[in-house]
């Protein structure tokens, strides 16, 4: 693959760097200042620029605001452990900065959806509506697994696995397509161009993904599903619950059993469930036009 195949954006964005709780955070912004604001929250091992395809597919004028979570993209790294509550507080600070006077429209993908799910229950007055792209929580963990999790975390902390390296951005684009065969050459090249960086540590393989390798540490604490559900039950905003018909992540959710999956949806008082055909877990990459139509209808 050559980067001459790079996707050409329709809507250009501007970059801003803002201080969020002492963190130098990078934010991409598309659209006119007086348009309705829509906050876009990316998933794990992703970055704000991957919403470009979705932003281009929106028909109306929107002020789209997308944060690089700490440790991803151009935002500051912790260079240490990452704790889920920090993302919730970073989102709170982001909304205080860009939408201090009104409840926010939020779209969250995967990890970003999980962050927004909890936030919308903790701060229901700050959320006007929420589109959740497969950020439906994790499998419940067994407390008996705690000793093993802590042992594994200690071992990983002592010898952090290095980031995967690539000879050039074309090789990174090919890797992205192996992970997601639905990704076109043009979109894969665009993602590789903007999320791949040259760090100078290996002349033969100079390109790495702009992500702190500490993100790959196993969290030592368990995922407490019942605590998440307690937050979800406090959500008062309407929720659009979106799944990809070909998503590997959805296989995990469905493997929990229809009753367990339904119990997650039942936590939300005002929820509409939609399946996007021809999409995997990264719906905003695979079917941005379908997704844009759903979003604009939902927020209308």
Q: What is the pLDDT of residues 237-295, one digit of tens each?
A: 999 999 999 998 888 887 777 788 899 999 999 999 999 999 999 999 999 999 999 99
pLDDT average, residue stretch 213-218:
90
Mean pLDDT rounded to a whole number for the chain: 94
According to the 3-state scheme, what is the secondary structure of the chain?
CCHHHCCCCCCCEEEEEEEECCEEEEEEEECCCCCCEEEEECCCCCCHHHHHHHHHHCCCCCEEEEECCCCECCCCCCCCCCCHHHHHHHHHHHHHHHCCCCCEEEEEECHHHHHHHHHHHHCHHHEEEEEEECCCCCCCCCHHHHHHHHHHHHHHHHCCCCCCCECCHHHHHHHHHHHCCCCCHHHHHHHHHHHEEECCCCCCCCEEECECHHHHCCCCCCCCHHHHHHHHCCCCCCEEEEEECCCHHHHHHHHCCHHHHHHHHCCCCCEEEEEECCCCCCHHHHCHHHHHHHHHHHHC
Q: What is the structure's pLDDT at 6?
A: 66
Q: Name the percent of the chain lying above pLDDT 90.
A: 81
Q: Can you give the pTM of this predicted structure? A: 0.95
Q: What is the structure's pLDDT at 107?
A: 98
Q: Domains in the chain and their CATH numbers?
A: 3-140+223-299 (3.40.50.1820)
Q: Which residues are catalytic?
A: 110
- Lowest mean pLDDT, pick from 65-69, 77-81, 85-89, 175-179: 77-81
């Amino acid at each position: 693959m050559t980067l001459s195949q790079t996707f050409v954006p329709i809507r250009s964005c501007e970059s801003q760097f803002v201080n969020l709780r002492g963190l130098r955070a990078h934010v991409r912004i598309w659209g006119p200042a007086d348009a309705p604001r829509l906050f876009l929250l990316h998933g794990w091992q992703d970055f704000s620029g991957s919403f470009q395809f979705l932003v281009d597919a929106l028909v109306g004028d929107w002020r789209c605001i997308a944060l690089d979570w700490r440790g991803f993209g151009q935002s500051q790294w912790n260079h240490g452990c990452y704790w889920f509550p920090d993302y919730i507080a970073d989102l709170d600070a982001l909304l205080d900065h860009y939408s201090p006077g009104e409840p926010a429209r939020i779209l969250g993908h995967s990890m970003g959806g999980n962050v927004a799910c909890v936030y919308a229950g903790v701060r229901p007055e700050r959320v006007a509506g929420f589109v959740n792209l497969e950020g439906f929580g994790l499998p419940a963990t067994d407390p008996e697994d705690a000793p093993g999790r802590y042992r594994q975390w200690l071992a990983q902390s002592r010898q952090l696995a290095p980031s995967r390296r690539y000879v050039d951005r074309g090789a990174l684009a090919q890797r992205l397509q192996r992970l997601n065969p639905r990704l076109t050459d043009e979109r894969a090249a665009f993602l590789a161009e903007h999320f791949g960086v040259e760090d100078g540590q290996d002349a033969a393989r100079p390109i790495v993904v702009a992500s702190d390798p500490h993100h790959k540490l196993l969290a030592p604490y368990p995922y407490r599903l019942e605590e998440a559900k307690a937050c979800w039950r406090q959500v008062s905003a309407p929720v659009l619950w979106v799944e990809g018909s070909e998503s590997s992540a959805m296989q995990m959710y469905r493997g929990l059993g229809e009753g367990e999956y339904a119990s997650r949806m039942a936590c939300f008082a005002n929820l509409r469930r939609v399946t996007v055909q021809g999409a995997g877990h990264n719906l905003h990459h695979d079917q941005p036009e379908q997704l844009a139509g759903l979003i604009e209808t939902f927020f209308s």
